[in-house]
Structure 1
Amino acid sequence: MTWNELWEHFYYHLRIKRRAKTTLHFYRTTQRSLQRYADATGALPESPAAVTVTHLRAFLIWLEDQGLAPGGIHAYVRGLKALCGWTHQEELLPRNPAARLERPTLPRRRLPTMTPEAVGRLLAAASATDQPVRDTAVVLALFDTGIRLAELIGLTLDDLQPERGLLRVIGKGDKERSVPIGSRALGAVTSYVRRERRARHAGVRHLFLSRLGQPLTRSGISIRLSRLSEAAGFAREMTTPHTFRRGFAVEFLRNGGDVFTLQQILGHSSLEMTRKYVTFLDEDLKAAHLRFSPVDRL
């Protein structure tokens, strides 16, 4: 069996399991990088059955030499472990060469988090764009709901439930859930639908559209956020969709929400996943210390 055949078996399994397109894209990126390594070095056996953990470790070292950060290498390890684990389980490989493949240690740094002050600056920048009502609605919807980028661009007009203050969202694994949306964000979205949304034809039901009346894509949202961040004076990494998602989680808890409700809103299968998104800011830690300082209470 060739590498391409092995990957195709794996992709068929992922499609049967109804994995998201972004998940398939992640594994295809791993496949392409592994092929580039094989072409550049000739160090990867042509038959997957002959691969050992030593070959895979050499691939990771090559990635590091190419300048890839530990987080990126960690992702490739996850991809290789998933591929090799499944193909061994299905008896397509005689053994699992990735069973002893180590994940690199990741630095524990606080990730960028959107704040209400930053949102205010983004809204000011959005008011000066070519589609100010849409861009305002996108910013407020991201910050008020914490939905993922794929979930945002997948919203349709039928997913709006203004009378209930909810959005119907299709998340990872094709799982449906209801996400609350506040009155201000909902007002911005409905205002966009009434005033600025112009579909190219009646069959276009997606909520957020480009100037040409077609559904906005991942790159389209990325370009809009990049331009807004530049106009507002932010570094690009401060305004990624996941920055909004983390900011929503922090503000939800800061304003009195509970972690179990937050888990349902974010669409997480476990509380551990939710915890990773919650990065409290310095002022929260300081406020807690003022209340509970051991020395001050002596």
Structure 2
Amino acid sequence: MTWEQLWEQFYYHLRIKRRAKTTLHFYGTTQRALGRFAAAEGSLPDTPEAVRVLHLRAFMTWLEVQGLAAGGIHAHVRSLKSVFAWARREELLSADPSLRLERPTLPRHRLATMTPESVASLLTAARRTAQPLRDVAVLLTFFDTGLRLEELITLRREDVRPEKGVLRVIGKGDKERSVPIGTKALTAINSYTLRERRARHEGVRELFLGRSGLPMTRSCISILLERLAAQTGHQRAQATPHTFRRGFAVEFLRNGGDVFTLQQILGHSSLEMTRRYVNFLDEDLKVAHLRFSPGDRL
């Protein structure tokens, strides 16, 4: 089996499992990086069957020399482990060369999280854009629901159900779920729909549209958030769909929500996945210490 055949069969497997386009893009990034490594170093065997863990470690070292951070290398390791483990289960390979491939240790930095104060400043800037009603609705929907980027841009008009106070969302793996949404966000969506949304033709069913009347893309959202961040003095990394998602999770728990409901809203298959999104700020830790301090209870 050639490398091309291996990747082709793996992508076919992912499509059968109805994995999202972003998932296929994730593995495609590793495939392209591995191809560049093979072209630059010439040390990667011509067939996957001949690959050993030493070849994969050499690939990781090459990525580090190229300047890739530990997080990026960690992602490539996860990708390779998934591909080779799948190939071994399918008996396409006689052995899994990635079994002993070590994942790099990741620095335990607190991830950027959107705060209510930051959202307020971004909303102020959004009200001055060329499409203020749309942009305000986008920000409020992100912060009030914790939707993933792909879930937001594929949201359709009929998915908004104000009578129930929920959105019908199609998440990863083509799984459907209902996501609660508050009055302010619903009002913003309604104002945008009535006064500003202009579809190019009747076949455009997506809720959030660009100036052309066609659905917003990932790059449209990225450009919007980048511009709003620059106008409000935020770093680019502080205003991303995932910082909104983390901010939603933190505020949901701060306001009395429970982690099991949060898991359902975020569309996670396990509590461990939900836990990764919850970055409590220092204030929360201090409040918890005041309530449960062992020293104070002596």
Smaller-chain TM-score range? over 0.9
Q: Report the AA paired with residue 43 of structure 1.
A: S
Give the structure 2 partner of residue 105 of structure 1: 105
Cα-to-partner distance string for 1:215-258 (whole Å, 9 max, x where unaligned) = 00001100000001111110000011000000000000000001
Matched, 1:16 2:19: no
Q: How far did residue 293 of structure 1 move?
A: 2.4
Give me the whole-angstrom Cα distance separating, in 1, the residues matched to 2:280 and 2:151: 25
Give me the whole-angstrom Cα distance separating, in 2, the residues matched to 1:294 and 1:22: 46
SS in structure 1 at match of 2:178: strand
Q: How far did residue 47 of structure 1 move?
A: 1.3
Give the structure 2 partner of residue 116 of structure 1: 116
Give the structure 2 partner of residue 231 of structure 1: 231
Matched, 1:247 2:264: no
Bigger drift between 94-103 and 240-249 goes to 94-103
Give the structure 2 partner of residue 136 of structure 1: 136
Q: How far did residue 177 of structure 1 move?
A: 0.1
Q: Report the AA paired with residue 227 of structure 1.
A: R
Give the structure 2 partner of residue 260 of structure 1: 260
SS in structure 2 at match of 1:59: helix
Q: Report the AA paired with residue 187 of structure 2.
A: G
Give the structure 2 partner of residue 75 of structure 1: 75
Q: How far did residue 88 of structure 1 move?
A: 1.4
SS in structure 1 at match of 2:93: coil
Q: Report the AA paired with residue 7 of structure 1.
A: W
Give me the whole-angstrom Cα distance separating, in 1, the residues matched to 2:100 and 2:201: 54
Q: How far did residue 91 of structure 1 move?
A: 1.4
Q: How far did residue 287 of structure 1 move?
A: 1.2
Which blocks of at least 5 consecutive residues in structure 2 are unaligned?
none
State the aligned residue count. 298
SS in structure 2 at match of 1:169: strand
Give the structure 2 partner of residue 42 of structure 1: 42
Give me the whole-angstrom Cα distance separating, in 1, the residues matched to 2:21 and 2:137: 25
Cα-to-partner distance string for 1:59-101 (whole Å, 9 max, x where unaligned) = 0000000011111101000110111111111111121111111
Give me the whole-angstrom Cα distance separating, in 1, the residues matched to 2:51 and 2:296: 61
Give the structure 2 partner of residue 159 of structure 1: 159
SS in structure 2 at match of 1:101: coil
SS in structure 1 at match of 2:234: coil
Give the structure 1 partner of residue 174 of structure 2: 174
SS in structure 1 at match of 2:179: strand
SS in structure 2 at match of 1:203: coil
Give the structure 1 partner of residue 273 of structure 2: 273
Q: How far did residue 289 of structure 1 move?
A: 1.6
Give me the whole-angstrom Cα distance separating, in 1, the residues matched to 2:85 and 2:287: 46
Q: Give me the identity figure in percent.
A: 71
Give me the whole-angstrom Cα distance separating, in 2, the residues matched to 1:293 and 1:55: 51
Give me the whole-angstrom Cα distance separating, in 2, the residues matched to 1:29 and 1:123: 34
* TM-score normalised by length of structure 2: 0.99
Give me the whole-angstrom Cα distance separating, in 2, the residues matched to 1:236 and 1:221: 13
Give me the whole-angstrom Cα distance separating, in 2, the residues matched to 1:293 and 1:3: 57
Give me the whole-angstrom Cα distance separating, in 2, the residues matched to 1:175 and 1:55: 37
Cα-to-partner distance string for 1:235-282 (whole Å, 9 max, x where unaligned) = 000011000000000000000001111010000111111111111111
Give me the whole-angstrom Cα distance separating, in 1, the residues matched to 2:263 and 2:88: 34
Give me the whole-angstrom Cα distance separating, in 2, the residues matched to 1:10 and 1:278: 33
Give me the whole-angstrom Cα distance separating, in 1, the residues matched to 2:271 and 2:88: 30
Q: How far did residue 291 of structure 1 move?
A: 2.1
Cα-to-partner distance string for 1:123-180 (whole Å, 9 max, x where unaligned) = 0100111101000000000000001000000100110101111100000000000000
Give the structure 2 partner of residue 187 of structure 1: 187
Give me the whole-angstrom Cα distance separating, in 1, the residues matched to 2:207 and 2:250: 27
CA RMSD, Structure 1 to Structure 2 (Å): 0.8
Q: How far did residue 290 of structure 1 move?
A: 1.9
Give me the whole-angstrom Cα distance separating, in 2, the residues matched to 1:157 and 1:293: 49
Q: Report the AA paired with residue 204 of structure 1.
A: V
Give me the whole-angstrom Cα distance separating, in 2, the residues matched to 1:81 and 1:275: 23
SS in structure 1 at match of 2:11: helix
